[in-house]
Amino acid sequence: MTERIEFGSKAAADQFRDEYADHLCTDDDRRLKTVAISSSAPDHVLETATIEAAAGRSERGGRGGQAELTDHERESIDFSRTTVPHARSVKGLMLEEGVDDWLAYYDHTLSVDEHREVAERAARDERGDRLDADTTVDDRLADLEGAQDEQCGHARDHCEDGEDEACEFLVEACGFDEDDVQALVGDARGDDPPGELYGAKNLAWRRYQIAVAEAKEAAAAINELNDLLGEPATAFRELGQRELTKDDIDW
């Protein structure tokens, strides 16, 4: 595998080329700051290139630089397939881009510089995930608040109607205190007509229904007699001009 490592300057890249010319890949281009190192190069050559390149980028204010590996990270990486400087450089680059879970994106088959594009993409993905998570939390809070407002509104209506459980819900879940509930119930009862008025109305209504029923019976009896006498049926104005007979009466 060809390892391509970007140095902080072309001068630093050329200096490395001069010192390790035997380990360069045939397609290495001296016009570039990125050095192509042969897959057969010893590990110490790769480590030297990685360290010098990272140091050069840091000195020039570029992105990257090496970062220490934790014990967990060392245990998670197969160093038979990569090197410590390579992993440290990739970690430094990833952290600089804002990628926390850098091991999830680490690929030993890619050069340190090739991880730059991976890091930029990973940073965008992680920022998007955080935004999605924040939006989801906000939406859930809004839904919960809306549902609670609706429940409290229903409870208030039922409490005004005198339902004790609804009044208790207002106190326990909606932030009402006992004085608020008592005032609410008192205001609702103050708006109701006195009980004796309801009683008088019900009595008058029953008397009306009885009177109408008796009037219908009398009208049917009159028309039954008219039929026996051979006279035409009578339409009663008070009963809607209806010519009632006994068949029309719901006995």
Instruction: Write out pLDDT tens, residues 62-117.
Output: 444 677 888 888 888 988 888 887 888 888 888 888 888 888 888 888 877 788 88
Lowest average pLDDT, out of 35-44, 141-150, 174-183, 234-243, goes to 141-150
Three-state DSSP state, 141: helix
| Domain end point (choices 112, 136, 159) | 112
201 exposed, middle or buried (CB, 10 Å; 0-12, 13-18, 19+)?
Answer: exposed
Say if strands 3-6 and 34-37 run parallel, antiparallel, or are unpaired: antiparallel
**What pLDDT is attached to residue 58?**
54
Phi and psi for 14 in degrees, rounded to 5? -70, -35
Pair 107, 8 in one domain: yes
Please check the confidence at residue 20 and state whether its pLDDT lies above 90. yes
pLDDT digits (tens, 9 = 90+) for 130-145: 555 545 545 555 555 5
**What pLDDT is attached to residue 142?**
57
Question: What mean pLDDT, rounded, does the chain reach?
Answer: 76
Q: Domain span at residue 46?
A: 3-112
Pair 7, 108 in one domain: yes
Pair 184, 211 in one domain: no
Lowest average pLDDT, out of 39-48, 59-68, 90-99, 123-132, goes to 59-68
| Of 131, 107, 108, residue with least CA distance to 118 | 107
**What pLDDT is attached to residue 63?**
45
Please check the confidence at residue 196 and state whether its pLDDT lies above 90. no
In a domain, 212, yes or no: yes
| Domain end point (choices 84, 112, 140) | 112
Residue holding tokens 């490395």? Answer: 16
Alpha-carbon span 37 to 24, nearest angstrom: 4
Pair 161, 62 in one domain: no
Q: Which amino acid is located at 182 in the chain?
A: Q
84 exposed, middle or buried (CB, 10 Å; 0-12, 13-18, 19+)?
Answer: middle
Pair 44, 103 in one domain: yes
Pair 49, 88 in one domain: yes
Going by C-beta distance under 8 Å and a sequence separation of 6 or more, which residues neighbour residue 222? 234
In a domain, 166, yes or no: yes
Pair 39, 79 in one domain: yes
Alpha-carbon span 126 to 225, nearest angstrom: 97
**What pLDDT is attached to residue 132?**
53
Pair 89, 145 in one domain: no
With cut-offs at 50, 70 and 90, classify the pLDDT of residue 207: confident
Please check the confidence at residue 234 and state whether its pLDDT lies above 60. yes
Pair 12, 107 in one domain: yes
Please count the structural domains in the chain: 3
Pair 79, 135 in one domain: no
Please check the confidence at residue 61 and state whether its pLDDT lies above 50. no
Lowest average pLDDT, out of 25-39, 54-68, 87-101, 174-188, goes to 54-68
Q: What would the two tokens of residue 187 be?
A: 């205001």
Three-state DSSP state, 66: coil
Q: How large is the average pLDDT for residues 48-61?
A: 68
In a domain, 117, yes or no: no
